[in-house]
Amino acid sequence: MSESRAQHTTPSSGRRPARHPAVERPPSWSPLATRHGAHHPGHRPAAAPHPRAQFPRARGCLLLLLLLLGVLAGLALSPLFSRAGSASSLVRLGGVLAPPPGSVLLGPVPPRRAITLDVVLVPRDPAGLAALASSVSDPSSPRFRHFLAPAAVAARFAPSRAVVSAVRSGLAARGLSGGVLSDGGLVVSYATTAGVLESAFSLGLSDYRVPGRPSPSYGASAGPLLGRAIAPAVAFVAGLSDFDAALAEGAPESRAVPGRAVTSSGSSGGPVPCAAAVATGGMTADTLASAYDLSPLYGAGDFGQGVRVALFELEPFRADDVARYASCYGLAPRLAVQRVDGGAGVGAGSGEAASDVESLLSVAPRARLSVYEGPWSESGVIDTYSAIVLGSRAAVLSTSWGICEGELSPGLSAAEDSIFEEAAAGGMSVVAASGDHGSEDCATGWGSPADALSVADPAAQPFVTGVGGTTLSPGPRGQLRERVWNVPGSFGGSGGGGASADFPEPSFQRGVAPGAPGRLVPDVSAFSSSSTGDAVVQDGVWSTYGGTSIAAPTWAGLLALADAEKGCAAPVGFADPLLYRLAGRAPAAHFHDITSGDNDYLGDHPGAYGATVGYDRASGLGSPGAGLAAALC
């Protein structure tokens, strides 16, 4: 903990001492390293026997001859070493992500295949950035909500021009040139080819047929080989593999389940659905507003107006789907699409992006929405998050995309952490779906045992609010009962939760769960049930959609309502420290505590994790309660 954090009791940045990839010495015997990083030290020429003192003339002639030969050899070899560097001047950064089990090697990647590569740099003063992000988010700190503008964050923490120039020059010397520096100064992007990449980083790229994927995936034989002088400035190189493409945390439901409809008693004062939405039997905006006590906000004229919310997407959506949804509710959404790295294609996608937009509109119908669409790749993830944090001017970022923490490429988590620290320093709230496979987020993955306890990234990031899932059902006297979402079957799922293996317990969670092995998720929860689903329009058809994908934009909408509250002098920013403080002081006034159900999706970990009074790893602090938005202001 830094001195400033110790003085002000600011939230910990959540860094483990070994969170950045290890730097390994490269093999000198081959341009390619083995997957396990084995290396064979190069042989040095044997030292010449020291001449005896009684032969001074012979010694002088010998030294002169050796000096002449050394000069000639240096002239002959200098082009080679100026490009490739000697073994002692190069280091290999981190490791690689292995192919998924069952993958079939197809052969080398064609050298002319186009590849987008991101070289993510280490921020200038990483400890200072973490301390600032923590202090401006901590309600007990004198710097609370003294946010910096994104440009000021970049100017203060982006690597210096000298560092950027050295990295570019070092990579150009190895054949990789033409990189474009991001607005925030943390990422140098290259549009290159497989052959150039292999030569520049001394590695091999191979294609694989991966089970469950329609097209081949590729991976690297080793981490990138970098000049020793620039390696400390590089946090991660994205684009060496596409094995860890992020997954949408959503569960599409093609039809409503009869008899599962959830209805509210009375109007919420917010958006009112048309008959088509009601007919799906899914959750509608008015019912959700009643469940989460949004009526006072709507009654005071707070619909999120003036607040910009950015949605992170790795797929396109049909604009007419959103238009049809908005027409049903009588809304006129303010919506813009920003395409990063060429965007995510065209068409309806899987329905994830449309569901995100529509779920957010149902809570904050007058917020200004910016949908950032990037390609489904490591570099697409980095570039899209970076574009939102440093270029969108949004107060809230919502993402429903994630992946099991254990299946990330080495270094990707740390690269994301720096971006989310910049978001917190600039006053941006970031919310992420916690996953749909309960306490075993790798249940459908391949990087860890399917039944291992695991959590999702980026929900488990220390500067992200992770959102878990619940179900709502009719109760006595028109009340709605809420429990942890856990539904087995092909259209089922369960809200993600557990302890991070990458990040330690942050200070704002201390005392919540004594002895916690790491950063705990979720922080909060909201309706996610795949049995009922959210009534949405996807690919021209009304249907229902479930998963924590709809819980994340629900919380993003709530934060937008809080930011739009009259009298709010600053945006909420990273919300977790204040959320935990409110829960510690008056939980019933701000949260609906979820006390029933569990998220042991596979049934392999009885009690991991069950809902209890107060915080738990199945539902976090609970779902939004009356007065929460006002208290966040």
pLDDT of residue 87: 55
Amino acid code (one letter) for 175: G
Per-residue confidence band for 474, with pLDDT thresholds at 50, 70 and 90:
confident
More confident of the two residues 408 and 498? 498
Per-residue confidence band for 74, with pLDDT thresholds at 50, 70 and 90:
very low
More confident of the two residues 414 and 74? 414
Q: What is the pLDDT of residues 437-450, one digit of tens each?
A: 999 998 765 555 66
Averaged pLDDT of the chain:
84
Cross-strand bridge partners of residue 494: 437, 486
pLDDT of residue 44: 31
pLDDT of residue 98: 86
Q: What is the pLDDT of residues 593-626, one digit of tens each?
A: 999 999 999 888 887 999 999 999 999 999 999 9
Distance from chain centroid for Cα 350: 20
Q: What is the pLDDT of residues 301-356, one digit of tens each?
A: 999 999 999 999 999 999 999 999 999 999 999 999 999 999 999 999 889 999 99
pLDDT of residue 19: 35
Name the DSSP letter for residue 109: P
Amino acid code (one letter) for 18: A
- The span from the CA of 481 to the CA of 563, in Å, is 28
Name the DSSP letter for residue 620: B
More confident of the two residues 513 and 540? 540
User: Any idea where the domains of the chain sit in the sequence?
Assistant: 94-123+158-238, 248-632
Counting beta carbons within 10 angstroms of the beta carbon of residue 55, is it exposed (0 to 12), middle (13 to 18) or buried (19 or more)? Answer: exposed
pLDDT of residue 94: 84
β-strand pairing of 205-209 with 104-108: antiparallel
Handedness of CA 509, 510, 511, 515 (dihedral sign): positive
> Which one of 3.40.50.2000, 3.40.50.1820, 3.40.50.1220, 3.40.50.200 gives the CATH number of domain 248-632?
3.40.50.200
Q: b/e per residue, 441-470, with b = 16+ CB within 10 A?
A: bbbebbbbeeebbbbbbbbbbbbbbbbbbb
C-alpha neighbours within 13 Å on the C-beta side of residue 432: 31
CB distance 354 to 538 below 8 Å: yes
Find out whether the peptide bond into 126 is cis, omega within 30 degrees of 0.
Answer: no
Tokens of 32: 């390619």
